[in-house]
Amino acid sequence: MMRTRPLKVALLGCGVVGSEVARIMTTHADDLAARIGAPVELAGVAVRRPDKVREGIDPALVTTDATALVKRGDIDVVVEVIGGIEPARTLIITAIEHGASVVSANKALIAQDGAALHAAADEHGKDLYYEAAVAGAIPLIRPLRESLAGDKVNRVLGIVNGTTNFILDAMDTTGAGYQEALDEATALGYAEADPTADVEGFDAAAKAAILAGIAFHTRVRLDDVYREGMTEVTAADFASAKEMGCTIKLLAICERAADGGSVTARVHPAMIPLSHPLANVREAYNAVFVESEAAGQLMFYGPGAGGSPTASAVLGDLVAVCRNRIGGATGPGESAYAALPVSPMGDVVTRYHISLDVADKPGVLAQVATVFAEHGVSIDTVRQSGKDGEASLVVVTHRASDAALGGTVEALRKLDTVRGVASIMRVEGE
């Protein structure tokens, strides 16, 4: 039997995502009511510019006083899509304290202060859901938190930022340079006017922190994630990658150590073999590989951003939270019982592709190989080319720690025969 009293929803933010959430709530009202077991009513919309025309939204619902809206006491669910740390953090905690469960798409806030938000939700017996904070419409958080709750996840590897994937895909398929590909992404609306959060890896790092925390039942903050942007990737790097049968992607990688005693979380460009499914993720799409002991390898793929995809994830959370509300229960909260330490990047072990500019004369390769050996870094392959006294030396290593590789490169720079280190890139997905 359907409950007649509607569940009241407050919407914080009415931009690209918020307006789409409001539209779906209105146009799909009957279906949502049938799925939830009660009508859902948009009870208020907090915005910064109240005079802007918002199609389909009753102007009487619009307010600039978000604090008053979340303090009303009759609000069942607050949907936060304003982004940023403040005032979102204060508004979410205030909403929970005044009896509302919360659905958020705020990756930066969850990555930085998720523990405090979960603590408030637990204290007051409310839900905090945030599927839309990672990978847009792709169901990822709920499978990790619920479907794989009985399994042991060892690795999460993926492309979690559509802007960077579009840029790198354009560089790969057209031979364009970084700036040219970025300009195209901006013209098509994939990149913001200031793309720093995307191209420098901040966006992906926040998502990596969230994924690692859920996957490994450990609190992983944004500051725990190693971050390296992709602005230094060049057409020459793609040419080298192709010679190895690889391409280049900006990856978020969350791993459990082989002994199970620690975890790592990192974001950086990496070469991956063309045979790996992630190599074929094109344009602005996202894809994430999850590797667990019982289930094996799982891949989640789809649009990772945009108003409609993100709104889809928000509405999925809204339905779940409303069902919990009716049943007098709450869904899964934070699971951080494992409390594993987060290892520094220096402990991470992977393969490396190093391109050196060297003097074209006898003995150079022997000198370089000696430096690698002295630092305990084993060489897999070497490729040398050049003329007129200058040469390029490309070294691909076996697996080595980041710290060992760093010491190797520092020593290489001191060799008289090494003119410079053209590029260093990790090789993943093997």
- Distance from CA of residue 202 to its chain's centroid? 9
Contacts with 417 (C-beta within 8 Å, 6 or more apart), sequence order: 358, 359, 361, 363, 364, 367, 368
Which residue has tokens 């919990």?
324
Nearest to 343 by CA among 158, 152, 212, 228: 212
The tokens describing 56, both together, are 């389909």
- Distance from CA of residue 70 to its chain's centroid? 28
Contacts with 360 (C-beta within 8 Å, 6 or more apart), sequence order: 386, 387, 388, 389, 390, 391
Cα–Cα distance measured from residue 130 to residue 270, given in angstroms and rounded to the nearest whole number: 28
Contacts with 328 (C-beta within 8 Å, 6 or more apart), sequence order: none
The DSSP bridge pattern shows strands 349-359 and 400-401 to be antiparallel
Q: Would you say 282 and 299 are in contact if contact means Cβ atoms under 8 Å apart?
A: no
Give me the catalytic one of 107, 126, 207, 249.
207
The tokens describing 220, both together, are 């992983």
Cα–Cα distance measured from residue 156 to residue 295, given in angstroms and rounded to the nearest whole number: 13
The tokens describing 416, both together, are 């008289």
Is the sign of the CA dihedral 268, 270, 276, 281 positive or negative? positive
Cα–Cα distance measured from residue 40 to residue 6, given in angstroms and rounded to the nearest whole number: 5
Indicate the helix (H) or strand (E) that contains 10: strand 7-12
Is 8 among the catalytic positions? no
b/e 166-184 (16+ beta carbons within 10 angstroms → b): bbbbbbbeeebbbeebbeb
b/e 113-136 (16+ beta carbons within 10 angstroms → b): bbeebbbbbeebebbbbbbbbbbb
Which active-site residues does the annotation give?
207
